[in-house]
Structure 1
Amino acid sequence: MSNSTSSPRSGYTLPVFACASAVAALRYLHEQKPLAMVSLNLIKPPQTVEIAVEQVAPLQENTALAITRSDPGDNLDLTHNMAVWAQVERRMTGKAEIILQGGEGIGKQEQWGGEAAIYRYAKQVMEENLRQWLHPDEQITVTIILPEGRTLAERTSNAAFGVVEGLSLLGTTGISQPLSVPEQLEEYREQLAEKAAQFDILGYCVGENGLHLAQQMGMNPEQLVKTANWLGPMLVAAAELGVKSLLLFGYHGKLVKLAGGIFHTHHHLADGRLEILTAHCVKVGVEPEMAQQVLSSPTAEAALTLLREQSPHWVKPLYTSLADTIDQRSQAYIRKHSEHGIQIGSVLFDRNRDILVKSAIGTAIFEQMC
């Protein structure tokens, strides 16, 4: 049994399991026997690893399907133990060629015309590991399928960054290296301390995409700190380091949790977004029937879409109330854990990366940072 002092276990990123399934399916077509394990070159880092294969089966004479199980290690990752399927179809065309496509559960990139959300590293690791098994005159079509992908994607903020209907095959390396809570917080605090020594106004950007959008909007990158889900300790750390004003900049489906007093925003630990939205619907006077529909929405993004379509006049007062409450509760959290005061403002954006609302304080801080 693991304990709190043991080192967290590393695992592999999603592209690795997709590749392992594809290799197992292709080799079945060649060898007519299922493999329990396949060897892969991760490229980044340059090492060979063994990945377990759960099942392999023929579908037709020249088509096979293989299944692996995602293991990201000791990360709070919603893909843990998720089935990763690869269907491989072969044709003898006289030319060695690999065609990679996304099936059910692989997200689509809206900004690229619905192209499958399969990114550079995933393509590289597929090419490297499938090419060596490809016959000189053989074309294969590899379709990656994540049966749970569409459902799990609803629990992410992917839609805020243009990826819909599924998960991404995202990653820049094959290793999923976890950081313990103390390690992760220490890394973020070090970055924060460097910037707090230079500026007394900073912005917290939730995730890489939030950081990118903030820079696109003209905010000084030297004043921006990327944060993960540990917002509570990071708020207190900013106050202790003497930061005077702090802008919370993030996707509404993530930051709305702070309005409910939830300062660790990972979905595995706490959610409550729809309940928070509904409470603020009641607060600002939204009709009871509409408030009930908000509560019944599958996601925070779906609730926003519902309001925009059926009660657009309530969107601004509702989200203004949420943003003001985020400011107030964040300041109260800091007062509870620190003797130092700090001014908090918030800016929330939607799935189209358009600004949804700025609190009054957030507007002032935003203008100073631009």
Structure 2
Amino acid sequence: MWPESSEQPTPLRTGLTTGSCATACTVAAVRYLFEQKRLSTVAIMLPRGQTVELPIHHVEALDTDSAIAATIKDAGDDPDVTHGSEVFVQLRLTREKAITFKAAAGVGTVTKAGLSLAIGEPAINPVPRQMITDHLQRYRAFYAYEGGFEVAVGVKNGAQIAQKTMNPRLGILGGLSILGTTGIVRPYSCAAYIASIRQGVDVACNNGLTHIAASTGSTSEAMVREHYQLSDMALIEMGDFAGAFLKHLRRNTQLTRLTLCAGFGKLTKLAAGHLDLHSRASSIDLHQLAQIARELGGDEQLAEQIAGCNTSMEALRLCQMQKLPLADTICQRAGAVMRRFIPKTITITVWAVDRKGLPVGSYADTPALLARCYGMTEIGDDE
């Protein structure tokens, strides 16, 4: 059981990536094979030169030429689904001098193009591979060993944990990815999530898709999936990271069509120019919504009511009662923000949905696409 958190404010803890964990396990296994030492901690060097120590909770021989070592991943204060998972490495000595990688139980295999790894490769990303390789090369020289290594990386219950990630959609099947670029997990940086967004775009583009749809969550995703009959590969759950998603699209000019669907409240933030839609980074500006209502012909009484609302949905309801296209206008403004990042060769469609996933507003930047969009949908009294 993890210790109870203190109620006193403390600095957020950093953690270590699955790539760092796998490297530490590799070091523990190689030292056991050559020195018969069961280490309880090992020191590794991270890509930027820092040295860190990781605990090793299990080391044993599998046979005369192979050993297994395991550690428990500590992601610090980052909300990481692999926090507390057991990462292990089965290391085998080989006659060939090469260092090869395999997926042990709980680590996935790449089945689609567009990732940094070839189809059929274990989902052990390039930086963790390089970290493991660098450490093994140093120990090979230290022990004057002329053979090679087979490194099988696994995660206990990784196949089940992977269902909570984007791996199945990215075509990484059978388990998790072994990740890391610096070796360190920064709390709430959500770097892994942003990496998954980028990978999702790359996989879609490398597999010939020309229309992708981004959403802020499962409700908005369900709406665009049903409306456009899109495959999983075309659906990108960007969450709150609109900026990371839009900036990455600059590199994928083969797209011809982009759809973005979001809850009305989050979309008001994008329309105001915010690229991080999380509440810690941006907030809904009811005074801005009141000003838009004025520009749409609403009277001062309506504007004051909107400014005093508790939620954006309440403001939207007031505008709908007066037939003012607030949601359509928000979609249009969000589209204008998106256009700062999106090449003109890509047409943009924006949808706003309510909490039930029903469309309440839309915008498309070409008449042909606009004709296909729904009009506003009234919000029911039970919302």
Q: C-alpha offsets along residues 9-67 of structure 1, whole Å, 9 cap, x if unaligned?
A: 11111100011111111111000121111110002x31111111111000101010000
Partner of 1:151: 160
- Kept in 1, the 8 Å contact 2:41–2:55? The answer is yes
Question: 2:35: which partner in 1?
Answer: 31
User: In the alignment, is residue 142 of structure 1 matched against residue 151 of structure 2?
Assistant: yes
C-alpha distance in structure 2 between counterparts of 1:178 and 1:337, whole Å: 35
2:19 to 7, 15, 24: 15
Residue aligning to 2:104:
103
Answer yes or no: is 1:237 the counterpart of 2:238: no
Residues 336 and 364 of structure 1: is their aligned pair in 2 closer, same or farther, counting only changes over 3 Å? closer
Unmatched runs of 5 consecutive residues or more in structure 1: 182-201, 245-330, 347-356
Q: Which has the higher contact order (CA 8 A, sep 6+)?
A: 1
Distance verdict in 2 for CA 1:157–1:333, change over 3 Å: farther
Supply the distance in 1 between the matched residues of 2:100 and 2:61 (Cα, whole angstroms). 19
Aligned to 2:133: 127
- Unaligned runs of 5+ residues in structure 2 are 113-117, 191-213, 217-237, 260-269, 293-308, 320-325, 335-349, 354-358, 371-383
Distance apart, 1:117 and its partner CA:
1.4
- Matched to 1:10, the amino acid is T
The equivalent residue for 2:344 is none
Q: Cα deviations across residues 165-190 of structure 1 (Å, max 9, x unaligned)?
A: 21111221111111499xxxxxxxxx
Amino acid at match of 1:114: G
Aligned CA RMSD, in angstroms, stands at 4.3
Aligned letter for 1:153?
Answer: A
Aligned-pair identity in percent equals 27
> How far off is 1:4 after superposition?
5.2
In structure 1, C-alpha distance between the alignment counterparts of 2:139 and 2:57, rounded to whole Å: 20
Amino acid at match of 1:115: E
> What does residue 46 of structure 2 align with?
42
- Normalising by structure 2, what TM-score? 0.54
- Structure with bigger gyration radius: 2
Measured after TM superposition, the shift of residue 101 of structure 1 is: 1.8
Structure-1 separation of matches of 2:364 and 2:311:
20
Taking a change above 3 Å as real, the CA distance of residues 46 and 58 of structure 1, as seen in their structure-2 partners, is: same
Aligned residues: 250
1:58 equivalent in alignment to 2:61:
yes
Q: Is the 8 A contact 1:239 1:342 kept in 2?
A: no
Q: Deviations over 1:288-346 (max 9, x none)?
A: xxxxxxxxxxxxxxxxxxxxxxxxxxxxxxxxxxxxxxxxxxx9952459999655669
For 1:145-184, what aligned pairs fall within 5 Å after superposition?
A: 145-179=154-188
1:6 aligns with 2:5: no
